[in-house]
Structure 1
């Protein structure tokens, strides 16, 4: 369905975001790492409590809601699925960044989740994490690496991915229940996205 130009209604209790899908089909030149005492560790198998905590600390500010409120069996099925790999960005012995890669489609790697905690935004930690993500992805037999982001994410997210050699190939409108209205997420999450009640 193609939305007409102009305004489209968003139902009460819903949120709407513009989603940008980006891809690369050629391995990019390696970019240098920024200075910083970071390292990457593969988490295998990822514990559910570890995942929930890091997902919340990285994503709550950007209204990451798809993995919030799901039961243990559903979450385990997703993060323990064949082809899914989880990594933590380690700073001073603590995980401060999340990298979730999905190799389940032959020849492809999707960056399912990618981000660092708020205190490390703008420090170079995300650049370090992206460098590792691309090294891992392109070390496999893939011809495409892709990711999507939306207007709830950091305002520089699309530009960051483009500087990382991703190219946009699709845009969509995503409409979903506002997870802050039913208590799935705290009302303080994603302060840049207004809560609309009527």
Structure 2
């Protein structure tokens, strides 16, 4: 029997609330300033596959392109010794509320101490994006077990949670 999924929505309403974790000298985080839809698709699969992210699996190349080429969408990639350690996307369609749309580490870099620093970078980048008034993110119980704790440790607060029951078809 499948377990239910709890989705947590977290927010930060002031840059001063960020509790930063220092970035290690061997982790470089670089903005992908030239949008590349297929690169974002690759990053999404690299980071999301272990957690069964699937909401964008059916997207076409043109749908990916339409997302990443918007002015309100930005992507950063974390590198460790030349390998992709993780990434995040910021999405701010209303010009004020900045969503950390996707965030995560590549499987071989889980447990290396990069998550807090990468999330600190994501939150700081969201606040440095002129016009941001609020930063928010959502996670769920199917994500990495430390995800919610990492968001809260950086200063994000839960403002809503929802529980979804397993689908009837999966109950056998």
TM-score by length of 1: 0.76
**Residue 24 of structure 1 corresponds to which residue in structure 2?**
12
Query: Are the equivalent residues in 1 in contact too, given 2:32–2:77 (CA < 8 A)?
Result: yes
- Give the distance between the partners of 2:37 and 2:96, measured in 1 at CA: 28
**Residue 187 of structure 1 corresponds to which residue in structure 2?**
none
Query: Are the equivalent residues in 1 in contact too, given 2:11–2:156 (CA < 8 A)?
Result: yes
Superposition RMSD in Å: 2.3
Q: Which of 100, 104, 128 is the aligned partner of 2:93?
A: 104
**Residue 131 of structure 2 corresponds to which residue in structure 1?**
141
- Give the distance between the partners of 1:117 and 1:59, measured in 2 at CA: 8
- Give the distance between the partners of 1:115 and 1:57, measured in 2 at CA: 9
Number of positions where the alignment pairs a residue of Structure 1 with one of Structure 2: 168
Residue 48 (structure 1) shift: 2.7
Q: Which of 138, 142, 147 is the aligned partner of 1:152?
A: 142
Query: Are the equivalent residues in 1 in contact too, given 2:3–2:165 (CA < 8 A)?
Result: yes
| Rg larger for | 1
Whichever structure has more helix as a proportion of its residues is: 2
Instruction: Decide which moves more: 161-170 or 40-49.
Output: 40-49
Residue 111 (structure 1) shift: 0.2
Residue 46 (structure 1) shift: 3.0
Q: Against the structure 1 CA distance between its residues 74 and 29, is the aligned structure 2 distance closer, same or farther, given a 3 Å change threshold?
A: closer
Q: Which of 86, 93, 109 is the aligned partner of 1:120?
A: 109
Q: Against the structure 1 CA distance between its residues 48 and 34, is the aligned structure 2 distance closer, same or farther, given a 3 Å change threshold?
A: closer
Flag structure 1 segments of 5+ consecutive residues without an equivalent.
1-9, 178-195
Give yes or no for the alignment of 1:172 onto 2:169: no
Q: Which runs of structure 1 show a deviation greater than 3 angstroms over 4 or more consecutive aligned residues?
A: 173-177
Q: Against the structure 1 CA distance between its residues 124 and 144, is the aligned structure 2 distance closer, same or farther, given a 3 Å change threshold?
A: same
What do residues 116-139 of structure 1 show as CA deviations (whole Å, max 9, x unaligned)? 112212212111211211221111
